C-alpha cells in the first residue's frame, strides 16, 4: 500500500478540478498517490481512463450504514462535506498510509509537500487558520465577522499522521457528520468546517500551520504577498506550496472569488498568472463539459418547489 496519500472529494460536475489537482500532484509530489473520493456514481458517464493514473472510490463503496439517510437529508454541498471524514477513515484503514493529506478539489500544488511532511514528524493533526491578522476596517468583504460565521480553520486542508490521535479525531468528526453537517449559519453550523474549532482543544498533538504558502486563498490575501521569482511562486518570501481557488468561476475568470470584494487580481501580476494557470488546467480537463453532469445523490426538490410555488 502507498505510504503517502492525498485525498480529494467531489461530485462528477467537479471532476475536472480533481483531475487538475492530480496533474499538479504528479508535477510537484510524484511520490504521493491521489485518491478521489467520488460523492456520486460513475455509471459510465466519463471515460474510464479520465482520472488515470489516480485512484477513485465511489461513495457507496464506503458501506456507511446511515448513507441512505444522509444523501436524502443533505444538499449536494452538505453531502460532499459530510462524507469527507468517512473517505478519510476509509483511506487510513484500507490503505494504511504513513502520511495523509486532504486537499479540496479546487486546489493546485505549486511546490513540494516536504514542509508538511516535516511538520507531521512532531504532530498528528495539521490545520490551517483562515487568517492570522486583522482585516482592514472598511466596506470590503470578507470581514472578521465572516470568519466567525465560517470557522477559524479551513477544512479544505488537513494533514494526518496515521496514529491513534488522528484516528480518534476522524471518528469523532464522522459521528457529527451523520446528522450535523448542515449549512445553517443561524444554528452556528457551516457544514463540516466549524467543527474544526474544537480540534486543538480536544486533541493534544495538533499543530496550526502559519506557513504563508499553505492554503493561500482569497480570505488571507490581505496578509500574504504573492510574487513570482524566476519560475516559482512565493508568499511573503516563502515558497507557495498550494493555492486554494475557492469561489473561482470558470465563466468569470477575471474574478478572484465570488465570495469576496476585497481583491482585484489585476493589482498583482503573480496572482493573475496563478489564476491563468488554473483556468488553463480546467480547460485542458474539460471542466465546462463536466459541469453539466448532475450528481446522482442530488437532493430532490420539495413539493412546493416541484409545483413552482417556492424558488
Cα 171 off chain centre by: 19
Which numeric CATH code is attached to 4-306? 3.90.550.10
**Averaged pLDDT in 10-residue chunks for the chain of 311 residues:** 90 97 98 97 93 95 96 96 98 95 98 97 97 96 96 98 96 98 95 98 96 98 96 97 96 94 95 97 97 87 38 35
What burial class does residue 210 get, using C-beta atoms within 10 Å of its C-beta: 0-12 exposed, 13-18 middle, 19+ buried?
A: exposed
Q: In a 3-state reduction of DSSP, which class is residue 278? A: helix
- Please state, in angstroms and rounded to a whole number, the distance separating the CA atoms of residues 125 and 135: 27
Q: For residue 247, what are the CA distances in angstroms to 3, 120, 234? A: 32, 29, 22
pLDDT recorded at residue 310:
37
DSSP 129: B
Cell of 287: 471542466
238-239/232-235 β-pairing: antiparallel
pLDDT recorded at residue 300:
54
pLDDT recorded at residue 293:
95
Question: In the chain, what are the domain boundaries?
Answer: 4-306
Model confidence pTM above 0.85: yes
pLDDT recorded at residue 113:
98
Amino acid at each position: 500500500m502507498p505510504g503517502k496519500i492525498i485525498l480529494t472529494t467531489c461530485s462528477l460536475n467537479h471532476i475536472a478540478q480533481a483531475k487538475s489537482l492530480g496533474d499538479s500532484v504528479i508535477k510537484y509530489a510524484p511520490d504521493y498517490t491521489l485518491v478521489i473520493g467520488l460523492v456520486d456514481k460513475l455509471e459510465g458517464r466519463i471515460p474510464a481512463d479520465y482520472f488515470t493514473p489516480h485512484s477513485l472510490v465511489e461513495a457507496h463503496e464506503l458501506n456507511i450504514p446511515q448513507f441512505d439517510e444522509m444523501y436524502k437529508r443533505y444538499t449536494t454541498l452538505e453531502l460532499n462535506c459530510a462524507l469527507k471524514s468517512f473517505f478519510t477513515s476509509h483511506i487510513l484503514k484500507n490503505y494504511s498510509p504513513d502520511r495523509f493529506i486532504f486537499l479540496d478539489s479546487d486546489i493546485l500544488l505549486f511546490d513540494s509537500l516536504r514542509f508538511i511532511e516535516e511538520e507531521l514528524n512532531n504532530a498528528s493533526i495539521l490545520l490551517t487558520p483562515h487568517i492570522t491578522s486583522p482585516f482592514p476596517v472598511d466596506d470590503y468583504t470578507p470581514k472578521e465577522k465572516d470568519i466567525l460565521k465560517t470557522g477559524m480553520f479551513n477544512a479544505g486542508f488537513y494533514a494526518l499522521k496515521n496514529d491513534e490521535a488522528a484516528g480518534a479525531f476522524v471518528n469523532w468528526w464522522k459521528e457529527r457528520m451523520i446528522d450535523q453537517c448542515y449549512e445553517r449559519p443561524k444554528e452556528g453550523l457551516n457544514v463540516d468546517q466549524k467543527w474544526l474549532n474544537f480540534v486543538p482543544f480536544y486533541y493534544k498533538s495538533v499543530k496550526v500551520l502559519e506557513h504563508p504558502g499553505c492554503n493561500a486563498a482569497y480570505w488571507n490575501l490581505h496578509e500574504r504577498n504573492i510574487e513570482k521569482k524566476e519560475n516559482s511562486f512565493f508568499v511573503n518570501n516563502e515558497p507557495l506550496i498550494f493555492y486554494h481557488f475557492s469561489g473561482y468561476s470558470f465563466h468569470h475568470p477575471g474574478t478572484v472569488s465570488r465570495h469576496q470584494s476585497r481583491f482585484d487580481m489585476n493589482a498583482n501580476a503573480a496572482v493573475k498568472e496563478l489564476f491563468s494557470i488554473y483556468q488553463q488546467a480546467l480547460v485542458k480537463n474539460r471542466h465546462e463539459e463536466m459541469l453539466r453532469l448532475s450528481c446522482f445523490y442530488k437532493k430532490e426538490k420539495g413539493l412546493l418547489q416541484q409545483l413552482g410555488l417556492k424558488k
